[in-house]
Structure 1
Amino acid sequence: MSPEQAAPLLCAGLTVYSPLKHFGLKRSGLRGGILGLGGVGHMGVKIAKAMGHHVTVISSSDKKREEAMEHLGADEYLVSSDVESMQKAADQLDYIIDTVPVVHPLEPYLSLLKLDGKLILMGVINAPLQFVTPMVMLGRKSITGSFIGSMKETEEMLEFCKEKGLASMIEVIKMDYINTAFERLEKNDVRYRFVVDVAGSKLIP
């Protein structure tokens, strides 16, 4: 595996792989949801599909539908503001990996989970998230979280990605492009990871 491909997997790949393994979800036949299609989310789709899961991408708009379905191989695409579609999809998912890093309601996504389903939080949010308890109680659902993973899981994840031929969608840049890269990150204008080529950059004028 090339260094530029291995590097982003140590973050995005591991962040998704770890909870799928830890919570007993690393088995085929499950139905999973990926909430938010960014750096972590796009690897979530790839890894879950490689594990044999039926994967639904959940997003706030329709603009990433083609990307999710045609390029990443998602099975379904849900727009969270489409009330009718969300209602039709209720009680169908074994888990949802929530990668959204801003405050958002949890109820719409809890309603998508089956009995004993898990909502796994991965977005770092420094404000309280709210939900009404019946949404959890009636389906014996769980709200939990996961952050990166262990060294052992890192080794397993890299082997898994190598075996399945998985790679992050990246854009390799040089050091002199860093400021522009940060500006593009603020505009969400990257698919889906920048990788800095330090060795190939002219660091000494």
Structure 2
Amino acid sequence: MTKAISYAAHSAKEPLSFFQFERREVGPKDVQLEILFCGVCHSDLHTARNEWQNSVYPVVPGHEIVGRVTSVGTEVKTFKVGDLAGVGCLVDSCRVCADCADGLEQYCDHEVFTYNSPDKHTGKTTYGGYSNQIVVDEHFVLHISDKLDLAAVAPLLCAGITTYSPLKHWKVGVGSKVGIVGLGGLGHMAVKLAHAMGAHVVLFTTSSNKVEDAKRLGADEVVISKNPDEMKAHLNSFDFILNTVAAAHNLDVFTELLKRDGTMCLNGVPEHAHPSPNIGSLIFKRRQIAGSLIGGIKETQEMLDFCAEHNITSDIEIIAIQDINVAYERMLKGDVKYRFVIDMATLKA
């Protein structure tokens, strides 16, 4: 075992604070990373505060991890010491089910998340990236390009793949009219990615002060979703809508904008259930409401390579680890453009 230092939540009510623990030794198929940057995801806050009622304390959050390889096991073939590498939301899966065989480990019934999951190696719980180092099976480690700003790459490991995966699955590309609902950590990545894929991108927001920023990020049009006239102008016109809002809201106003056979995919997990959709709106145009969860390892690497090719990173604000609790409160207020990233050099014993 090797010592690691981190920030952790020790209960749902306490602020995150310094925590020391042990990582497993590097096994034959393992890669050890020195963590350089870790993005801050809203899921981190949900888990730290037990808002999903499944937290096992202490919780060390963080699943948007980038760093440098410091050690590799004897059977590791694709990484060497000194390489840049990343770890996203998953660190293991069963490897044998149909989902895993299809490269869709995120849908495996036995997937192991980077934090707050049973850890078969230690018999405890997995600890995430708000720490100085991590040991992960080679299969779940990703290659990171040196062409991009490393700190701004970190959120791609969650916000990037969570939006890239549905855009690819529903074949977004040249000739597609795509709506993005919400301009937060996920939404701003969705706009960038859909634009790079060649789609006509329309951003839906309730805030008129986000219009200029949305267009800077790649939106061709911006619609204020509270304005009925602006919404009506887009009836029956979208091939695909990616809804990134993580709060309960009326879905009907967006499904009515879909073409026949159009799909709205939900990315955000609301605190309460959405109001039931108007079934007639779905039936009479064969529209669909779907969902999507992150992406498999192969697809995540594909996304990282796509972003390197198109010079896409997240818009970030770098913080010290000591400011994580303030960052959580700011995140709740939407006071970040568009993702916090922790500089792990600020973590000291």
Please give the TM-score of this superposition, normalised by the length of structure 1: 0.94
Check conservation: 1:136, 1:142, Cα contact below 8 A: yes
- Which structure shows the higher strand fraction? 2
Check conservation: 1:68, 1:77, Cα contact below 8 A: yes
180-189 or 37-46, larger mean C-alpha shift: 180-189
The counterpart of 2:169, out of the listed 22, 25, 29, is 22
32-41 or 176-185, larger mean C-alpha shift: 176-185
Check conservation: 2:260, 2:285, Cα contact below 8 A: yes
Instruction: Report the identity percentage.
Output: 44
SS at match of 1:24: coil
The answer on 1:32 being equivalent to 2:175 is no
Report the alpha carbon displacement of residue 126 of structure 1 after superposing the two structures with TM: 4.5
Tell me the distance in 2 between the aligned counterparts of 1:159 and 1:202.
29
Task: Mark the CA change 1:111 to 1:184 in structure 2 (over 3 Å): closer, same or farther.
Answer: same
Report what 1:47 is aligned to: 193
Task: Mark the CA change 1:102 to 1:3 in structure 2 (over 3 Å): closer, same or farther.
Answer: same
The counterpart of 1:182, out of the listed 328, 331, 335, is 328
- Which structure shows the higher helix fraction? 1
Report what 1:156 is aligned to: 302
Report what 1:114 is aligned to: 259
Report what 1:125 is aligned to: 270
- 1:143-177 alpha-carbon deviations (Å, 9 max, x no partner): 00001110011000000000011110011111122
Check conservation: 1:175, 1:203, Cα contact below 8 A: no
Please give the TM-score of this superposition, normalised by the length of structure 2: 0.56
Report the alpha carbon displacement of residue 131 of structure 1 after superposing the two structures with TM: 1.1
- 1:43-84 alpha-carbon deviations (Å, 9 max, x no partner): 000000000000000012312111111x21211111111111
- Counterpart amino acid of residue 101 in structure 1: A
Tell me the distance in 1 between the aligned counterparts of 2:167 and 2:218.
18
The counterpart of 1:90, out of the listed 227, 235, 238, is 235
SS at match of 2:158: helix
SS at match of 2:174: coil
Report what 1:147 is aligned to: 293
Report the alpha carbon displacement of residue 127 of structure 1 after superposing the two structures with TM: 2.9
Coordinate RMSD, CA, aligned: 1.2
Tell me the distance in 2 between the aligned counterparts of 1:76 and 1:97.
15
The counterpart of 1:8, out of the listed 149, 155, 166, is 155
- 1:89-127 alpha-carbon deviations (Å, 9 max, x no partner): 111111110011111011100111111111000110243
Tell me the distance in 2 between the aligned counterparts of 1:61 and 1:93.
21
Q: What is the number of residues matched between the two proteins?
A: 201
- Counterpart amino acid of residue 76 in structure 1: E
| Higher relative contact order (CA closer than 8 Å, sequence separation 6+) | 1
The counterpart of 2:283, out of the listed 137, 153, 163, is 137
Tell me the distance in 2 between the aligned counterparts of 1:128 and 1:9.
27
- Counterpart amino acid of residue 85 in structure 1: E
Aligned pairs (5 A) from 1:163-178: 163-178=309-324
Check conservation: 1:34, 1:56, Cα contact below 8 A: yes
Report what 1:65 is aligned to: 211
SS at match of 1:64: helix
Report the alpha carbon displacement of residue 202 of structure 1 after superposing the two structures with TM: 4.6
Task: Mark the CA change 1:128 to 1:180 in structure 2 (over 3 Å): closer, same or farther.
Answer: closer
Larger of the two Rg values belongs to structure: 2
Tell me the distance in 1 between the aligned counterparts of 2:191 and 2:335.
19
- Unaligned stretches of 5+ residues in structure 1: none
- Unaligned stretches of 5+ residues in structure 2: 1-147
